[in-house]
């Protein structure tokens, strides 16, 4: 288990799947904002569920986010598209509605960075988010990510095109900012 100051990251358990699926997938409007593919009905027990527990994979590291305040499942996070040759990966998080606005996102991003840079030896982490997702942009910026680009009207979300922003962080930038983390 990886620990931050407010959260811990652990492997997903089968018991996490129904909760994550109900709160983060079945809410079509919200799910449509975090996935570039169109929403479709998927059973929580299906292998097609984005929260299905799978065997370890070198290309992805999915985690359950646990709140240290109450040991409750707060959401999901992970690295995906892990490229061992270029030593890079994409980062993503999704918190359950009841856990948003509590300041957990920065801690999740920082723990994922520690995992990516320290445990996996990656050189670069990147995240893509909708331009109006100010909470994610703020959390990533506080963790040291810098905005590298904007993809104009690149995401079809709930009947309209929305800009996406790309944020990146390099290992040497993470290391130079170590004094901001406990």
Greater model confidence, 44 or 2: 2
Greater model confidence, 21 or 181: 21
Full-model pTM: 0.93
- DSSP β-bridge partners for residue 156: 161
> What fold does the segment set 2-180 form as a domain?
Aminopeptidase (3.40.630)
Domain boundaries, the chain: 2-180
pLDDT beyond 90 at 45: no
pLDDT of residue 28: 92
pLDDT in tens, 110-148: 999 999 999 999 999 999 999 999 999 999 999 999 999
Please give the radius of gyration of the chain, using alpha carbons only, rounded to the nearest integer: 16
Do the Cβ atoms of 153 and 119 come closer than 8 Å? no
DSSP state string for 32-71: TTT-SSPP----TTSTTSTT-----BTTEEEEEEEETTT-
pLDDT beyond 80 at 176: no
């Amino acid at each position: 288990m990886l620990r931050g100051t407010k959260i811990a990251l652990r492997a997903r358990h089968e018991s996490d799947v129904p909760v994550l699926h109900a709160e983060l997938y079945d809410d079509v409007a919200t799910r449509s904002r975090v996935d570039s593919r169109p929403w479709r009905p998927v059973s929580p027990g299906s292998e097609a569920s984005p929260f299905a527990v799978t065997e370890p994979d070198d290309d992805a590291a999915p985690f359950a986010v646990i709140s240290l305040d109450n040991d409750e499942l707060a959401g999901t996070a992970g690295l995906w598209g892990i490229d061992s040759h270029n030593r890079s990966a994409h980062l993503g998080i999704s918190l359950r509605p009841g856990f948003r606005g509590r300041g957990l996102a920065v801690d999740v991003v920082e723990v994922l960075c520690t995992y990516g840079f320290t445990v996996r030896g990656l050189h670069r982490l990147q995240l893509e988010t909708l331009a109006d997702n100010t909470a994610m942009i703020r959390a990533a910026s506080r963790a040291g990510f810098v905005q590298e680009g904007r993809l104009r009207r690149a995401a079809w979300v709930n009947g309209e095109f929305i800009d996406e922003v790309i944020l990146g962080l390099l290992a040497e930038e993470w290391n130079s900012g170590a004094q901001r983390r406990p």
